[in-house]
Amino acid sequence: VEVIVEIQKSTAAIAGFARRVLRNLPENDINREYLDVTIGELERLERLLNEQRKASSLPESPLGMTQVNAILDAVLNGRRAGITNRKARILKRLAVGLPELLLDRVRIRAAFENILDHLLESVPRGGRLKVESKRTGDLVQITLAGDGTRTPGATLDRLFVPFHPGGAETGQLGLVAACQIVREHGAEVGVRSDAEWPALFVLNFPIK
């Protein structure tokens, strides 16, 4: 975390200097375009570092047998303002009678929040979000999905890769942290699309 803070300070200083230079350039100066790109990339880096700092500072809580549906409900309640602002419709299908899972409740909730935040950023106003849980054999499967622009499969693979040279669709550190947390619980996480949903995050938790 200390290293991230130092990088953030340097990034903020460089961005501040670039903005001052930009303000003093004539409107027709060709260098304005280069500075705009530089400032945009620095702002993106600052957002990524903030996500990583947040993920790195998550406290570990004791593992305990937990109802995953209760965590999903808490996540949706915590993001109610953002959902309302997007006028998004929630398609919630939480299976009844799921077995409890051995989870770090704090970190798993953060993982779900990071994925839902990513979906909220891409869903259009009046779009849909899907939150689903069900049992599949010896697994509890969680699906988080949202409307939005359809992304090619090759680009979907980048979503868990930080700083991938892929532009706007590159991986977010919040998603990278979510993937790490889920895998630390012995679960699998993947992302795909189908005919109805441009982005489907599927998490498979083993039943202990």
pTM over 0.75: no
CA distances from 70 to 76, 133, 134, 176, 179 (A): 10, 11, 14, 23, 20
Q: How many CB atoms lie within 10 A of CB 10?
A: 9
Beta bridge partners of 102: 65
- pLDDT confidence tier of residue 103, bands split at 50, 70 and 90: very high
Closest CA to 207 of 190, 184, 187: 187
What does the alpha-carbon distance between residue 130 and residue 29 come to, in Å, rounded to a whole number? 47
Q: How many CB atoms lie within 10 A of CB 30?
A: 7
Residues 167-201: tens digit of each pLDDT? 444 446 678 788 888 998 999 998 888 888 888 99
* Dihedral pair phi/psi, residue 71, rounded to 5°: -70, -45
* Dihedral pair phi/psi, residue 176, rounded to 5°: -60, -45
